[in-house]
C-alpha cells in the first residue's frame, strides 16, 4: 500500500485543479442585460410618418413711421405745425428747408422745450452736429429708400428733379466734390435745434421711435421748436460737420452746408409724405 500512496495523492491533486476552470466558464457567460433586446431596435412602425416640411411664413416687416414728438399723434402734429416747407430753387438758401413744430402752452405743458424727439424712421446715424448756425445741435439719419413701400418710393423719386450741371450759389460756397451716385438712393431726416448734442456716433443704428434728444433752442432759432428736414439723395452721405454764415466756420463746414442744402444732390421733400403714410 505504501508503494501506491504517492500515486494516489497525485491523482487527488489533479482532480482538484480542474475545478477553477469550470468556475471561469460560468462567470464568462454574458448575462441578458448586456444583450440588446429587440424592442430597442427601431422598427418601421416606430418611425413617425414623414410630414411635409412646413414652409415658414415669410412676413415682411411692417413699414413703420413714428411720431417725432412726445405726447403727439400723427394727427395732432398738424395742430403744432408753425412753419411749413418752402422749397427754394437750386443754389438758393432761402425758403424753409423743413417743417417746424412748436407751441407755448399745450395741456399741462408750458413749453415745448425739453420734449422728447423721436426718429420718424429706422436708419443709421450720418452725423451729429455741434451747436452751429443754422441747425444748432442736430442729427442726420439715413434710411435706404428701398425699405419704404413702393408707392412712397415712386412718389419720392417722381419729385426728384434732374441735378443741374451748373449752380449759382447764394453766399460764398467753397468748391466741393459731388457725392458718388451709384443709383442707390436714401431718405435723410435731420432734427435740429436740440437742447444738447445727441449721443450717437456715425454708423449707429437707429430704430423707428428711438429717442434722439429733446427740443431746444440752439442754433438759428428764436424760440424752442423742432425743425424736421427730409431729403432724398444718393446713399452713403458722409458729412463730418456742417455750418454756414459765420466767418469762423471752416471751409469744410461751409462746403458741406452748400452740398447739403443748395447743390441739388439732396433734394427736399415734404415730411408729411412719410408721416401721412401710416394710420
Of the candidates 218, 261, 278, 270, the residue with the CA atom closest to the CA atom of residue 90 = 261
Question: Whose Cβ is closer to Zn ion: residue 98's or residue 271's?
Answer: 98
Question: Whose Cβ is closer to Zn ion: residue 198's or residue 271's?
Answer: 271
CB of 97 to Zn ion, least distance (A): 7
Other CB atoms within a 10 A radius of the CB of residue 250 amount to 12
Q: Can you name the residues that pair with 268 across neighbouring β-strands? A: 231
Contacts for 9 with CB less than 8 Å, ≥ 6 apart: none
CB of 83 to Zn ion, least distance (A): 6
Residues 18-37 that bind Zn ion (CB under 5 A): none
Question: Whose Cβ is closer to Zn ion: residue 119's or residue 145's?
Answer: 119
Question: Whose Cβ is closer to Zn ion: residue 100's or residue 142's?
Answer: 100
Residues 196-225 that bind Zn ion (CB under 5 A): none
Q: How many residues bind Zn ion (CB under 5 A)?
A: 3
CB of 134 to Zn ion, least distance (A): 8
Question: Whose Cβ is closer to Zn ion: residue 84's or residue 178's?
Answer: 84
**CA–CA dist 18, 233 (Å, integer):** 101
Residues 81-120 that bind Zn ion (CB under 5 A): 98, 100
The DSSP call for residue 215 is B
CB of 212 to Zn ion, least distance (A): 16
CB of 227 to Zn ion, least distance (A): 3
Provide Rg for the chain, Cα atoms. Answer: 39
CB of 96 to Zn ion, least distance (A): 6
Which own/partner pairs from 92-97 qualify as long-range (CB within 8 Å, at least 24 positions apart)? 92/170, 92/262, 93/170, 93/171, 93/244, 93/261, 93/262, 94/170, 97/229, 97/261, 97/268
Of the candidates 148, 147, 128, 146, the residue with the CA atom closest to the CA atom of residue 138 = 128
Q: Alpha helices of the chain — where are they, by DSSP H?
A: 5-17, 19-27, 150-158, 251-261, 272-275
CB of 99 to Zn ion, least distance (A): 7
Q: Is 227 one of the binding residues for Zn ion (CB under 5 A)?
A: yes
Closest residue to Zn ion, Cβ-based?
A: 227
Strand-pair category, 137-144 with 123-129: antiparallel
- Report helix, strand and coil shares of the chain as percent, to nearest 5: 25, 20, 55
Question: Whose Cβ is closer to Zn ion: residue 145's or residue 189's?
Answer: 189
**CA–CA dist 159, 87 (Å, integer):** 12
Q: Is 193 one of the binding residues for Zn ion (CB under 5 A)?
A: no
CB of 197 to Zn ion, least distance (A): 18
Question: Whose Cβ is closer to Zn ion: residue 81's or residue 167's?
Answer: 81
Question: Whose Cβ is closer to Zn ion: residue 191's or residue 200's?
Answer: 191
Q: Is 72 one of the binding residues for Zn ion (CB under 5 A)?
A: no
Specify the residue for cell string 442736430: 138
Residues engaged in binding Zn ion (CB under 5 A): 98, 100, 227
Amino acid at each position: 500500500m505504501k508503494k501506491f500512496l504517492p500515486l494516489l495523492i497525485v491523482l487527488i491533486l489533479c482532480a482538484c485543479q480542474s475545478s477553477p476552470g469550470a468556475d471561469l466558464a460560468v462567470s464568462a457567460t454574458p448575462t441578458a442585460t448586456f444583450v440588446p433586446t429587440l424592442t430597442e431596435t427601431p422598427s418601421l412602425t416606430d418611425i413617425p410618418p414623414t410630414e411635409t416640411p412646413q414652409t415658414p411664413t415669410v412676413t415682411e416687416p411692417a413699414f413703420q413711421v413714428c411720431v417725432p414728438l412726445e405726447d403727439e399723434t400723427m394727427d395732432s402734429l398738424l395742430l403744432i405745425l408753425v412753419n411749413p416747407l418752402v422749397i427754394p430753387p437750386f443754389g438758393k438758401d432761402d425758403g424753409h428747408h423743413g417743417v417746424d413744430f412748436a407751441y407755448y402752452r399745450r395741456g399741462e405743458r408750458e413749453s415745448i422745450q425739453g420734449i422728447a424727439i423721436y426718429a420718424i424712421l429706422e436708419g443709421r446715424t450720418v452725423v451729429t452736429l455741434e451747436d452751429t448756425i443754422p441747425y444748432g445741435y442736430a442729427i442726420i439719419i439715413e434710411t435706404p429708400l428701398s425699405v419704404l413701400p413702393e408707392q412712397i418710393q415712386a412718389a419720392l423719386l417722381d419729385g426728384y428733379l434732374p441735378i443741374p450741371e451748373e449752380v449759382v450759389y447764394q453766399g460764398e460756397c467753397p468748391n466741393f466734390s459731388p457725392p458718388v451716385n451709384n443709383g442707390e438712393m436714401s431718405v435723410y431726416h435731420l432734427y435740429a435745434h436740440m437742447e444738447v448734442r445727441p449721443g450717437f456716433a456715425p454708423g449707429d443704428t437707429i430704430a423707428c421711435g428711438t429717442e434722439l434728444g429733446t427740443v431746444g433752442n440752439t442754433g438759428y432759432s428764436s424760440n424752442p421748436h423742432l425743425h424736421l428736414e427730409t431729403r432724398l439723395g444718393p446713399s452713403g452721405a458722409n458729412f463730418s460737420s456742417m455750418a454756414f454764415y459765420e466767418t469762423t466756420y471752416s471751409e469744410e463746414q461751409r462746403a458741406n452746408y452748400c452740398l447739403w442744402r443748395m447743390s441739388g444732390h439732396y433734394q427736399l421733400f415734404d415730411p408729411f409724405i412719410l408721416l401721412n403714410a401710416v394710420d
